[in-house]
Amino acid sequence: MAIFNIFKKRGKGKGATSATPTTVDPPKDASSHGGEAPPRRPGPAVNGAVNDLAGKSPEELCGISAEMPRDEMKAHLAKLFKRHNRGASSLDENTRQLAEQMLDAIVEVRTKYLN
């Protein structure tokens, strides 16, 4: 078990500079849960969410409307890209499919409204 040192300033008055180490327990890992990892929330592609994308326009998928200001649209698409770009390398097939569809929709919306 590793022990982390955190130094706190001790002393009274102005300019006290002596530091005394204190110990803090390391972060808990999976072994603190009886050898199992804590339960995870289901991802966005669980329970057939990939099928829910069928028939929707890229604007609907991205939550973009033509009336949105250009800066707001650009920031929203950047946030979506960051989220789904990570999902594109997921080991879960459903998450990967959802991410690929969303990335394609993001590209279409960017080329239509921002280029």
Domain encompassing residue 84: 55-113
The pLDDT value recorded for residue 85 is 94
What does the mean pLDDT of the chain come to?
75
Q: Is residue 59 part of a domain?
A: yes
Q: Is residue 67 part of a domain?
A: yes
Per-residue tokens: 56? 């929707």
Per-residue pLDDT, averaged over 11-30, amounts to 57
The pLDDT value recorded for residue 54 is 77
Whole-angstrom Cα Rg for the chain:
24
Q: Is residue 25 part of a domain?
A: no
Q: Is residue 38 part of a domain?
A: no
Q: What is the pTM of this model?
A: 0.56
**Residue range 50-90, pLDDT digits in tens:** 567 778 999 999 999 989 999 999 999 999 999 999 999 99
Q: Is residue 6 part of a domain?
A: no
**97 or 28, which is more confident:** 97
Q: What percent of the chain has pLDDT over 90?
A: 47
What is the number of structural domains in the chain? 1
